[in-house]
């Protein structure tokens, strides 16, 4: 059987974690929980789930069948039945015994080779679940086609460049309008460091998911998506270079030059007139080396200090505190290498928060198969309290109430995200929202009466047709439970809300024109204002990573910009955050486009 070939599982990765850092994540793979598996059968899949996921798994099975229809048409291929194994959250997913490898926070899903089973956690956001599932099912088709290719197709699959395999999965699940990948391409063009295909294949500095997606978008846009599949099928027989010549009539060097020229032609005019990511505001934390992570800055209430996650010590992602003006690192607050009581810090889509007096810092950790909240004394750097959250499998952002008594958090139960309020004195948890909508990144108004958050409760969301609005802004009234949704723009997402000190404005990050930038909205008038116009973008690792913070008392703002494949921290004083008025009408989403500008698609995403 061809399955005797030892193939590594194919996975969707949200981040490329340095190899040395991985030594500390998931140090011992332990299964803390026993999962009572059940099966829902659909036309082409056995959907494995456990009772906590009963609501969401029916929707996931419909998503899978929709992807099967799209991918089978694109690949001109069909298969009988495959297994999909769903976990309610990422901490549960990390315990899987379906595969033996360690699974880190940056792994969004896996397709293993022996039985071509998909293993994935729910994310709490339906649109993200759909992307991960679509990505992994591309791998199922890739494996299945390779298995039936004469002359050792599976062995040749294992020899193909990672960008070819993973880039194809990203392209066929995300399409050619993607603000995150376009931002990576602008960064490479801006620095005049756009890679050749040979560099993509040989140099690990070039993240294969982003560059691979962009290259396939170029091929699909120029020759059609069927050509992408034809090249893949030919590569299983002939190898990449020979397949390219056979299908396109040109070699890898020629395609590299054309692809680079198309990217420069598209992105150089876009960059003109925008601020260099290393020039916006003032420097706080720069890059020590290409690809450094400096993530999720959280400024203290008085605006003097800030906490952030960083890869600066090369061995792990740790939590540091630094001067909010100079960026001078004062001390390391914590990390898995220094505290044996938790396994890892949650850092990709998570941010912590300071207590109102600045003496404590709350953040999310992985411990014993679940997320917990760790509360750290900022002077001693000791974790003085760890809070378990029964019934909540994973937690993203936390926010400390102005009176210091309550933590608001976005928690995930049964694969669905909701807002919760944790009474710190009593230790009790109150669930604030309870529905299938995504509810993330809560933050308190200065008077403690309202939470602002991001949600997909927009007008496009329809769970019957499985269509979802981009994340929008919303408020939750703590007294009445009333939710009000604000859609500042007619296109794009709006995330990471932060109140101004007077409570009259909310700052947020939006990619309404395809470029992720900071905006301000006046709550009373609904007028939006542009604060930044960055050549790459204001962004964390993923499209929803927290990236901006505002001091509650002073209004000083810190944020991360994407530069040299890494993240740097920049700062603006309150006088620099007034901004220019912008309209709410739909604008061209040019910042999200991948070249070429004219394209032909076989299906709509």
The pLDDT tens digits of the residues spanning 203-250 come to: 999 999 999 999 999 999 999 999 999 999 999 999 999 999 999 999
The pLDDT of residue 6 is 35
Among 55-59, 355-359, 457-461, which is the least confidently predicted range? Answer: 457-461
Give the number of residues written for the chain: 605
Q: Quick one: pLDDT band at residue 459, thresholds 50, 70, 90?
A: confident
Average pLDDT over all residues of the chain? 91
Q: Quick one: pLDDT band at residue 374, thresholds 50, 70, 90?
A: very high
The pLDDT of residue 5 is 31
- The arithmetic mean of pLDDT across residues 239-263, rounded, is 97
Among 12-16, 76-80, 211-215, 298-302, which is the least confidently predicted range? Answer: 12-16
Among 136-140, 315-319, 445-449, 533-537, which is the least confidently predicted range? Answer: 315-319
Using the 8-state DSSP alphabet, how is residue 449 labeled?
S
Cα dist. 24→127, 340, 366, 530 in Å?
Answer: 31, 10, 12, 40
- The arithmetic mean of pLDDT across residues 480-486, rounded, is 97
- The arithmetic mean of pLDDT across residues 169-173, rounded, is 98
SS3 string, 139-205, reads HHHHHHHHHCCCCCHHHHHHHCCHHHHHHHHHHHHHCCECHHHHHHHHHHHHCCCCCCHHHHHHCCC
Cα dist. 291→239, 294, 347 in Å?
Answer: 30, 10, 16
User: How far is 168 from 174, CA to CA, in rounded Å?
Assistant: 10
Q: Is the pLDDT of residue 25 over 80?
A: no
Burial class (CB in 10 A: 0-12, 13-18, 19+), 138: buried
The pLDDT tens digits of the residues spanning 543-601 come to: 999 999 999 999 999 999 999 999 999 999 999 999 999 987 767 788 999 999 864 44
The pLDDT of residue 17 is 54
The pLDDT of residue 13 is 67
Backbone angles phi, psi at 171, to 5 degrees: -65, -45
Q: Is the pLDDT of residue 253 over 90?
A: yes
Q: Who has greater pLDDT, 15 or 522? A: 522
Question: Are 258 and 298 in contact, with CB atoms under 8 Å apart?
Answer: no
Cα separation of the two ends of the chain:
36
Q: What is the largest CA-CA distance in the chain?
A: 70
The pLDDT of residue 341 is 54
Calculate ∠ Cα 441-531-512, nearest 5°.
65
Domains of the chain plus CATH, in order, are 1-152 (3.40.30), 160-272 (no CATH), 282-572 (2.120.10.30)
The pLDDT of residue 514 is 96
pTM: predicted TM-score of the whole model, two decimal places: 0.94
Q: Determine the 3-state secondary structure of 541 from DSSP.
A: coil
Question: Are 250 and 244 in contact, with CB atoms under 8 Å apart?
Answer: yes
Using the 8-state DSSP alphabet, how is residue 576 labeled?
G
- The arithmetic mean of pLDDT across residues 74-84, rounded, is 96
The pLDDT tens digits of the residues spanning 91-149 come to: 999 999 998 888 888 899 999 988 899 999 999 999 999 999 999 999 999 999 999 99
Q: Is the pLDDT of residue 14 over 80?
A: no
Cα dist. 346→106, 180, 335, 504 in Å?
Answer: 10, 21, 10, 31
User: How far is 259 from 285, CA to CA, in rounded Å?
Assistant: 33
């Amino acid at each position: 059987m061809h399955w005797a070939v030892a193939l590594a599982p194919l996975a969707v990765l949200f981040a490329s974690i340095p190899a040395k850092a991985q030594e500390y994540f998931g140090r011992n793979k332990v299964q803390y929980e026993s999962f009572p598996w059940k099966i829902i059968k659909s036309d082409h899949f056995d959907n494995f789930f456990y009772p906590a996921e009963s609501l969401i798994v029916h929707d996931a099975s419909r998503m899978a069948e929709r992807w099967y229809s799209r991918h089978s048409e694109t690949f001109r291929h069909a298969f009988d039945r495959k297994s999909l194994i769903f976990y309610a959250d990422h901490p549960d997913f990390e315990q899987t015994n379906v595969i033996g490898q360690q699974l880190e926070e940056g792994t969004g899903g896996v397709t293993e080779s022996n039985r071509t089973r998909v293993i994935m956690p729910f994310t709490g956001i339906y649109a993200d679940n759909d992307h991960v599932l679509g990505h992994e099912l591309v791998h199922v088709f890739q494996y299945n086609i390779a298995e039936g290719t004469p002359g050792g197709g599976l062995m040749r699959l294992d020899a193909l460049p990672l960008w070819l395999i993973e880039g194809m999965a990203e392209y066929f699940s995300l399409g050619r309008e993607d603000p995150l990948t376009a931002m990576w391409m602008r960064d490479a063009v801006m620095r005049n460091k756009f890679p050749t295909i040979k560099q993509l294949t040989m140099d690990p500095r070039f993240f294969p998911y982003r560059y691979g997606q962009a290259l396939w978008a170029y091929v699909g846009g120029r020759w059609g998506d069927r050509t992408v599949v034809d090249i893949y099928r030919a590569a299983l027989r002939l190898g990449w270079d020979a397949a390219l010549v056979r299908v396109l009539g040109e070699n890898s060097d020629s395609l590299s030059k054309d692809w680079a020229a198309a990217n420069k032609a598209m992105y150089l005019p876009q960059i003109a007139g925008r601020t260099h990511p290393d020039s916006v505001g003032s420097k706080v934390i720069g890059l020590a080396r290409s690809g450094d992570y400096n993530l999720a800055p959280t400024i203290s209430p008085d605006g003097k200090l800030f906490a952030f996650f960083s890869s600066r010590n090369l061995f792990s992602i740790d939590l540091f505190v630094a001067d909010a003006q100079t960026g001078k690192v004062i001390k390391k607050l914590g990390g898995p290498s220094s505290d044996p009581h938790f396994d890892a810090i949650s850092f990709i889509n998570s941010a912590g928060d300071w207590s109102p007096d600045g003496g404590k810092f709350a953040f999310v950790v992985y411990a014993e198969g679940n997320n917990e909240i760790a509360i750290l004394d900022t002077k001693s750097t000791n974790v003085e309290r760890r809070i378990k959250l029964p019934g909540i499998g994973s937690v993203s952002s936390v926010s400390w109430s102005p009176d210091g008594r309550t933590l608001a958090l976005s928690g995930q139960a049964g694969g669905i995200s909701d807002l919760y309020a944790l009474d710190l004195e009593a230790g009790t948890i109150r669930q604030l929202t309870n529905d299938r909508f995504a509810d993330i990144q809560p933050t308190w108004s200065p008077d403690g009466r309202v939470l602002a958050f991001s949600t997909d409760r927009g007008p496009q969301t329809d769970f019957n047709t499985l269509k979802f609005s981009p994340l929008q802004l919303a408020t939750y009234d703590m007294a009445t439970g009333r939710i009000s949704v604000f859609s500042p723009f007619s296109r794009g997402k709006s995330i990471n809300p932060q109140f101004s000190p007077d409570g009259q404005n909310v700052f947020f990050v939006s990619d309404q024109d395809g470029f992720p930038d900071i905006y301000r909205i006046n709550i009373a008038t609904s007028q939006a204002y542009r604060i930044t116009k960055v050549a790459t973008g204001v962004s964390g690792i993923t499209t929803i990573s927290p990236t901006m913070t505002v001091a509650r008392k002073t209004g000083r703002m810190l944020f991360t910009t994407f530069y040299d494949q890494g993240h740097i921290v920049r700062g603006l004083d309150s006088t620099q955050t007034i901004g220019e008025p912008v309209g709410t009408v739909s604008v061209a989403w040019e910042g999200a486009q991948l070249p070429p500008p004219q394209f032909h698609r076989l299906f709509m995403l």
